[in-house]
Structure 1
Amino acid sequence: MDTALTHAVAVIGAGPVGQTTALLLARWGLRVILLDRRPERDPIGSKAICQQRDVLDVWATLGAEAIAREGLTWSTARTYNRDAELFSWSFADAGRSPLPPYVNLSQARTEEILDTRIASDDRIEVGWNKEVTGLRQDDDGVSLECADGSVTRAAYAVACSGARGGGIRELLGLDFPGLSFEDRFLICDIRADLPGWENERRFYFDPPWNPGRQVLIHPCPGSTYRIDWQVPPGFDLAAEEASGGLDRRIRQIIGDRPYEIVWRSVYRFHSRVVDRMRVGRVLLAGDCAHLLAPFGARGLNSGVPDAENAAWKIAFVANGWAPPELLETYQAERHAAALENLEITTATMRFLIPQDEAGWRARREILDAAAGSPATAAATVDSGRFAEPFWYVDSPLTTPEPGRPFGGRPPKGHAPAPAPGVITPDAPVTIAGRPDVSRLRQIVREGLTLLVAGDRDTGSPGDAARRAARAPLTVLGIDDVDPSGELAEALAARPGESWLIRPDAHIAAILPDADPARVTAAVRRALAMASPGDALPADV
């Protein structure tokens, strides 16, 4: 690495995606500088409150288990039309994760917990009042010019500058196509005692207290509730408060109970994805790369997977464990994920806010037909599909296996059966000499992991995997680490199979046997050391 470089990676933006990126990069041993244009942290409002199990798992890996522990756990989502419940659904776990399927916790508290972890890591430097106004790249690195006249020089940069990241996108010459919705959403955090509401998310179509529009209610820790009202274009919050309208809105929901307003704001939602998420040595992550309507909680819950994908790939390239071509697969994988999230959330917004009379008529017909038929309602009423990991089935890093096909998008709240490209289910493991490891996801995030099912010796496939690359690699026999049988059950592992798992817990390959040549090919593909079109050993 060029001696003029002051850091391995510069992360632009100290929101939760930038914080996570910095912590993950430091975990791989890289020196990081975290730059933010603000003078200091602004801990205001709930903002992104819903955090999904796989995101909680990433944070737990970073020592931020407090996010899952402090967050309010909920597992049931209810959807109503006016006052009648249409359907409800709950999360199912194919593995045995100790983490809840979702928690609600204010973004301010999440950032506070992550800041504590950053402060304890001397590989991370934090720079406030560092607005990036210039960006130049060359063969050796990236130079970031800040408004205060300082210049930061790093080998790579990750832009996590949030919804207001237009300046960074402009510096990189990127477009940000998409659409913005005219309707506004009024968001209030209130503190109140609402028995029976503590553990459920509630979504209302056309309730009597917001006719013609929607209301979403989320429970949060400390008897706090987040209420989102869809309001018309031009809604004036100050006028609403002055007239007593805001109090009336709240009391129409909670009745004559004492309450306290903790925070309130008005948002306009957008559906936009940047045209490229990698430009040379710069990767874009989170809201800087994609703005999504919040129904389904796919903003922060897609930004953290961006961070993890970017971090392990930058680390593997920077440490010489993989070729530079690995970075382009960030674009291939995370841009596809962003486009899927855009498709899903835009469809939800078009159901919530039809764009013409035909759309309104179709929605009324769907809601009326769904009354009294939960199965019909669950299949046809779109109140938001909650965030789930993107499945890298078509990634150039994934080795397909006809005997383990991807089954397509599962019902709400369910995970797909394990297959190449899918994130692996979690389960308890016992590893000799590693008392710090109690579940699969902990060990796989240390590098590549090769699991061998059945009673065959792991030596031959393990040796092949080690010869294929210099990257960190753990080889485990499933029978050796799975005394309870829960891991084999979660994977539905078949005797003789070899499972190659990436550092972000996604399955790179499931090979029907432990043939060393196949293992070698799968490892090389998982690290972009071979073209997806390269010939593989016979019978693969």
Structure 2
Amino acid sequence: MPVDGAAGGVGVVVIGNGPVGQTTALLLARRGVPVALLDARPARDLTGSRSICQQRDVLDVWDSVGAGRRIAAEGVTWTTARTFHRDRELFALTLGGRGRSAFPPFVNLSQARTEQILDERVAASPLIDVRWDHRVTGLDQDADGVTVTCDGGRSLRAPYAVLCAGAHGGPLREALGVEFTGHSFDDRFLICDIRADLPGWATERRFYFDPAWNPGRQVLIHPCPDGTYRVDWQVPADFDLAAEEASGALDARVRAIVGDRPHEVVWRSVYRFQSRVASRMRVGRVLLAGDCAHLMAPFGARGLNSGVADAENAAWKLAFVLDGRAGEGLLESYHAERHAAALENLAVTTATMDFLVPHTDEQRRHRRDVLARAADDPDARALVDSGRLYEPFWYADSPLTTPDPDRPFAGRPPRGATPPPGPGVLLPDVPVRAGGATRLRELARDGFLLLVAGDGDPVPVTAADSGGVPVRTHRISEIDATGELAATLAVRSGEIWMVRPDAHIAAVLPNPDRTRLVRALRRALGDPEPTEPARKGDDDGVLPARR
């Protein structure tokens, strides 16, 4: 059996050419890793909106590979989420956030169009080899790498593989011995892309509990480009789309929302949602990402967005391990961090589904009481769950994070809020001036970043300290002309803020000596018990960024 892509050719085989696989490949290539990107399909499927809500921090990840600004420009921006009970608005949530991101809180763009834009970036990379019509049938590991077997006796060899095969990746996941526990919801959801002119609806998300035109159930409406709206109706478990279309009931259902205006149903489908999470997201030399590792209800837009976060987490760690700059501890932290994120997302979306589709008499009584009181009672409104919108996970309990007792993580913040900056939290983005970078997160994606508060001499970091990982140091006062960065972080004089390559804060160290700084850096690289740091004079200085 011929083996293609032996060691030295392909660094990582990415299985699944959807948005998560595309993002994984692009981020690996950005760090110099050659990738083979495989998909079982013969070509891209461009039908239907599917995952449409792209959150600002995901757009920022895509911006690092040249796609974020274009996706944001083509998508519909929305900042307001309205929730109704029957015909009465209960509340409107205006989305904010700390810092000053280059991107809006959410943009809506069809998954198909997002994939096309990412395809263009993939095609522009000489390090990514795209192979359609490659259905993977086996993953065999040994001490040196992974052999990926495809239909027709074809196989590829690489040090690592990332399984991004989506909801259809079950056979490969099972072959790895990974369980996929959870459950499916009985109720189904009818999803339609509808083109119509709906004045005033083009920049806001609308959620309806028990509207007259879908009694006893819910409807979610999202604006999309070109005058198109994505509408999700909760429907009974025995819903028959073909019968609904033939009887004219589908047209009546649409007209109940759009009125007598001209309209076109561009795409329609019926789904039954699942809540499941893989028991392991790393099995030896194979990492699981996206829907192959976790499935959840879409209310809150946590599916694709969390999959992109999986991709970013996997890419920088694999790149450092392949370079010999980190080892087993960093690779295993992928499971620790992203499995915890999947469980958090599952808890949030399961709570939403329990409110939307109550299973017990107690849950049904709770929902009736909350919705009845919410029109006039602000405390009851806070209990209405129409989907907590996606936010980045906080790696406060990660083995890579050095805790700071002066900046403890207070847990999940209120709906629509972000936690204050501190260890484990994604770094807020603000304008800075440092070389060619104009945004703080631009500084944080080539290696490790040290931000120094105060005018003291930076503690030197050597190549021996970091294992060769690039570490750059900037005094906050020198890159923060307006004081916005210092205010956003609420920095204290003498602190050093250590930021990971995925822009998450690894540590906040008050007045650290070299030993404490190196210990935090080695911990952030998956080595919680570092050896004694190199002596001063052994290649002292700030390491340059690797371009």
Task: Give 2:468's aligned residue.
Answer: 470
- CA distance in structure 2 between the aligned counterparts of 1:396 and 1:4, rounded to whole angstroms: 30
Is 2:261 aligned against 1:257?
yes
Q: Is contact 2:25–2:37 with CA below 8 Å preserved after alignment?
A: yes
Deviations 1:345-379 (A, max 9, x none): 01110110011233212210111111223x32442
Matches within 5 A, 1:39-78: 39-64=42-67, 65-78=69-82
Matches within 5 A, 1:190-269: 190-269=194-273
Of 31, 36, 51, the residue aligned with 2:34 is: 31
- More displaced 10-residue stretch of structure 1: 445-454 or 279-288: 445-454
* Alignment gaps of 5+ in structure 2: 534-547
Deviations 1:140-173 (A, max 9, x none): 1000110122101111000000011112112211
Once the two structures are TM-superposed, the CA of residue 27 in structure 1 deviates from its matched residue by: 0.5
What TM-score, normalized by structure 1, do the two folds share? Answer: 0.96
Is 2:86 aligned against 1:88?
no
Q: Do the aligned partners of residues 164 and 192 (structure 1) sit closer, same or farther apart at CA in structure 2, a change above 3 Å counting?
A: same
- CA distance in structure 1 between the aligned counterparts of 2:163 and 2:14, rounded to whole angstroms: 6
Instruction: Give SS of 1:421's match.
Output: coil
- More displaced 10-residue stretch of structure 1: 230-239 or 375-384: 375-384
Deviations 1:195-238 (A, max 9, x none): 00011100000000000000000001111100000000021111
Q: Is contact 2:461–2:518 with CA below 8 Å preserved after alignment?
A: no
Task: Give 1:98's aligned residue.
Answer: 102
Is 2:447 aligned against 1:444?
no
Is 2:451 aligned against 1:429?
no
- CA distance in structure 2 between the aligned counterparts of 1:531 and 1:89, rounded to whole angstroms: 45
Q: Is contact 1:396–1:531 with CA below 8 Å preserved after alignment?
A: no
Once the two structures are TM-superposed, the CA of residue 332 in structure 1 deviates from its matched residue by: 0.4
- CA distance in structure 1 between the aligned counterparts of 2:299 and 2:104, rounded to whole angstroms: 20
- CA distance in structure 2 between the aligned counterparts of 1:145 and 1:465, rounded to whole angstroms: 39
Of 6, 19, 24, the residue aligned with 2:22 is: 19
- CA distance in structure 1 between the aligned counterparts of 2:161 and 2:188, rounded to whole angstroms: 34
- CA distance in structure 1 between the aligned counterparts of 2:278 and 2:461, rounded to whole angstroms: 42
Q: Is contact 1:19–1:115 with CA below 8 Å preserved after alignment?
A: yes
Matches within 5 A, 1:505-516: 505-516=503-514
Instruction: Give SS of 1:430's match.
Output: strand
- CA distance in structure 2 between the aligned counterparts of 1:494 and 1:63, rounded to whole angstroms: 35
Task: Give 1:456's aligned residue.
Answer: 456
Q: Which amino acid aligns with 1:484?
A: T
Deviations 1:254-286 (A, max 9, x none): 100001111110000000001000000000000
Task: Give 1:502's aligned residue.
Answer: 500
Once the two structures are TM-superposed, the CA of residue 457 in structure 1 deviates from its matched residue by: 2.2
Task: Give 2:487's aligned residue.
Answer: 489
Task: Give 1:526's aligned residue.
Answer: 524
Matches within 5 A, 1:396-415: 396-415=399-418
Aligned residues: 528
- CA distance in structure 2 between the aligned counterparts of 1:66 and 1:300, rounded to whole angstroms: 18
Instruction: Give SS of 1:442's match.
Output: helix
- CA distance in structure 2 between the aligned counterparts of 1:356 and 1:526, rounded to whole angstroms: 44
- More displaced 10-residue stretch of structure 1: 522-531 or 106-115: 522-531
Q: Which amino acid aligns with 2:210?
A: D
Of 372, 391, 394, the residue aligned with 1:391 is: 394
Task: Give 1:116's aligned residue.
Answer: 120
Matches within 5 A, 1:84-163: 84-163=88-167
Q: Is contact 1:427–1:487 with CA below 8 Å preserved after alignment?
A: yes
Instruction: Give SS of 2:66's match.
Output: coil
Task: Give 2:374's aligned residue.
Answer: 370
Instruction: Give SS of 1:248's match.
Output: helix
- CA distance in structure 2 between the aligned counterparts of 1:6 and 1:465, rounded to whole angstroms: 27
Instruction: Give SS of 1:449's match.
Output: strand
* Alignment gaps of 5+ in structure 1: none
Is 2:288 aligned against 1:284?
yes
- CA distance in structure 2 between the aligned counterparts of 1:276 and 1:89, rounded to whole angstroms: 35
Instruction: Give SS of 1:14's match.
Output: coil
Task: Give 1:172's aligned residue.
Answer: 176
Q: Is contact 1:277–1:285 with CA below 8 Å preserved after alignment?
A: yes
Task: Give 1:382's aligned residue.
Answer: 385
> Could you tell me the percent identity over the aligned residues?
63
Is 2:297 aligned against 1:293?
yes
Deviations 1:275-299 (A, max 9, x none): 0000000000000000000000000
Instruction: Give SS of 1:425's match.
Output: coil
Once the two structures are TM-superposed, the CA of residue 5 in structure 1 deviates from its matched residue by: 5.2
Once the two structures are TM-superposed, the CA of residue 466 in structure 1 deviates from its matched residue by: 6.7
Q: Which amino acid aligns with 1:236?
A: D
- CA distance in structure 1 between the aligned counterparts of 2:165 and 2:347, rounded to whole angstroms: 23
Q: Is contact 2:6–2:157 with CA below 8 Å preserved after alignment?
A: no
Once the two structures are TM-superposed, the CA of residue 490 in structure 1 deviates from its matched residue by: 1.4
Instruction: Give SS of 1:169's match.
Output: helix
Instruction: Give SS of 1:438's match.
Output: strand
Once the two structures are TM-superposed, the CA of residue 512 in structure 1 deviates from its matched residue by: 1.0
- CA distance in structure 2 between the aligned counterparts of 1:463 and 1:283, rounded to whole angstroms: 31
- CA distance in structure 2 between the aligned counterparts of 1:524 and 1:25, rounded to whole angstroms: 22
Deviations 1:429-472 (A, max 9, x none): 101xx32x1101111011111110122222xx243687343101
Q: Is contact 1:187–1:266 with CA below 8 Å preserved after alignment?
A: yes
Q: Which amino acid aligns with 1:199?
A: T
